[in-house]
Structure 1
Amino acid sequence: MTAARTLRPPANSVDPDGEFPLGPPEYFFYLLFQAARQRDLFFDRELAPVGLNLAQWRSLAIIRRLESCTMTALARFSTIDRTTLTRAVDQLVTRGVVERIVPDRDRRQINLQLTTHGKTVYSQAVEILKDRNRRVLSEVDPKRLREATRVLQEALLKLAGEGELAIDLLNFGATAPPEEA
C-alpha cells in the first residue's frame, strides 16, 4: 500500500481539487524539501561507519564527479555554506581522502582531488546511497521517475535563472564534448 492511497487531505486544504493539503506548486516544493531532508538524515546516519558525515560525503561525491575541482566549484554544486564546506574539506584532507593540488598553469589556484584512499571510501559510501535510492524508488515506474526528473529539471532551470548557472547545475559539471570540425 502506498502513502498516496492512505492520505486524506485535511479539512483546511487549500488545493482547489482537494487532493493535497496545499496548492500543488506549494505542496510540490514542501514535499521536495521534506524528501531531501529525510534522505539527508538517513545518509548522515548511514555514512558514519564509513567515516563520513553529510557535508563530507557531498564534498567527496562532487570532487569525484568533477575529477579535479576548485573550492568555488565545490561550493556551487554542494549547497553547503562555505565555513562548513571548508571544515569538511580540511577533515577529508587530514584523513588522506582528498588532496589539494596546485596546478602548474596557475599557482594561485588550488584543486581538490580524491586520493587512492578517497576512491575506496567513495566506493563504500556510494553503495550505501545507491542501495537506499533503489529501495526508496523501487516501486516507481521508470517512466514516471524520468518524468518527475524532467519536472525537477524545468523547475531548477527557472529557479537558477536559465543562464550559465542553471545549465552548469543541470549538467552537474559535465563539460560539453569537443565540437567536430
Structure 2
Amino acid sequence: MSTHELFHTLHQLSRQLTNRLNEALKPTGLYSAQWAVIYVLKNKGSLTQKELCDYLFVEAPPMTRTIQRLVKQGYVTQVPGRDKREKHVQLTELANQEYPKWEHIVNSVNHELMRDFPIESREQFLKLQKSWLQQIL
C-alpha cells in the first residue's frame, strides 16, 4: 500500500465519520465541530480558546466561529482571564443538562459504525492511533 493511499483512505474515513455524526446530531442543532468543543470542555473543564485550538488541531478563525455559535445557543460562556485578551470557555448549566442526550447520540453512532469490528480489532486500532498521534505531536 502506498503512503498516498493510506492518507487518502484516512481522509475519506474522517469525512464519512464527520458526515454521519453531523447527520445524527442535526436534530439537536449541533455539528461535530461543536460537539468536539463540548466534549473537550466536559472532560477537561474550562480552557482558553488557544488551548482548545491546540488540543483539537483547529485554526483560530473556525474555532472562534464555533465558540460564537455555542455562545449564541447558550451552551458555553466566555469568562475573562487574568490577561484581558484571554477568555476561558466553559460549559453552561444548559449544556451540562443536555450533555447526556448528545453523548447518547454520539455513542449510538459510534456503536453502529463499529458493530462489525471485533473488540480485539477496536483495541488494536485505538492503540495504533494513540501511538501514531504521540509520534507526530
TM bin (shorter chain): 0.7 to 0.9
2:127 alignment partner in structure 1: 150
Task: Give the AA of the match of 2:114.
Answer: L
Deviations 1:64-102 (Å, cap 9, x if unpaired)? 221111101110122333212101101111221101123
RMSD over aligned Cα, in angstroms?
Answer: 1.8
Contact 2:24/2:109, CA 8 A, preserved across alignment: no
Q: 1:84 aligns with which of 52, 62, 73?
A: 62
1:64 alignment partner in structure 2: 42
| 1: CA distance, partners of 2:58 / 2:104 | 23
| 2: CA distance, partners of 1:151 / 1:28 | 14
In terms of Rg, which structure is larger?
Answer: 1
Task: Please state if 1:129 is matched with 2:115.
Answer: no
Gaps of 5+ in 2: none
1:111 alignment partner in structure 2: 88
Q: 1:46 aligns with which of 24, 30, 36?
A: 24
Query: How many equivalent pairs are there?
Result: 136
Task: Give the AA of the match of 1:95.
Answer: Q
Greater share of residues in strand:
2
TM-score, reference length from structure 1: 0.68
| 1: CA distance, partners of 2:13 / 2:128 | 16
Secondary structure at the aligned position of 1:47 is classed as helix
2:6 alignment partner in structure 1: 28
Task: Give the AA of the match of 1:128.
Answer: I
| 1: CA distance, partners of 2:32 / 2:114 | 21
Secondary structure at the aligned position of 2:62 is classed as helix
| Structure with the larger RCO, 1 or 2 (CA within 8 Å, 6+ apart) | 2
Contact 1:50/1:121, CA 8 A, preserved across alignment: no
Task: Please state if 1:159 is matched with 2:136.
Answer: yes
Task: Give the AA of the match of 1:88.
Answer: T
Contact 2:50/2:60, CA 8 A, preserved across alignment: no
1:58 Cα deviation (Å)?
Answer: 1.6
TM-score, reference length from structure 2: 0.87
Gaps of 5+ in 1: 1-21, 161-181
